[in-house]
Amino acid sequence: MAAYLLANLTVRDAQRFEAYRQAVPKVIAQFGGRYLVRGGAVEAKEGDPGLDRVVILEFPDMAALQAFYGSADYAPLLALRLAAAEGTVALVEGMAG
């Protein structure tokens, strides 16, 4: 079953974050991932969700998602993102058809 990376980020260094943004899609694709949401406008309807830059990635399964997040290919990009932005990231298992 599919698995998802949910991120809510606040960019602190736009130049570094742009370098991350340009490089990371190739690594995501290597692990079968794809973007579902990539920083679009957020319109709150009820309460304050505390969302800034929302990113949702879909992977074929949790094993592929965990392999991506823990990979040697992603490690330098993760370090770059952590230097450029702060926020929250969660790995979430989807539901069966």
- At 23-54, the pLDDT tens digits run 999 999 999 999 999 999 999 999 999 999 99
**Vertex 67: Cα angle to 62 and 69 (nearest 5):** 95
Q: Which pair of tokens denotes residue 96?
A: 């069966």
Q: For the chain, what are the domain ranges?
A: 3-93
Query: Alpha-carbon distance 20 to 64, whole Å?
Result: 20
Q: Which pair of tokens denotes residue 73?
A: 């290919």
Burial class (CB in 10 A: 0-12, 13-18, 19+), 1: exposed
What pLDDT digit, counting tens, does each position of 48-76 carry?
Answer: 999 999 999 999 999 999 999 999 999 99
pTM, full prediction: 0.94
Region 3-93: CATH code: 3.30.70.100
Instruction: Find out whether 93 and 3 touch, Cβ atoms under 8 Å.
Output: yes
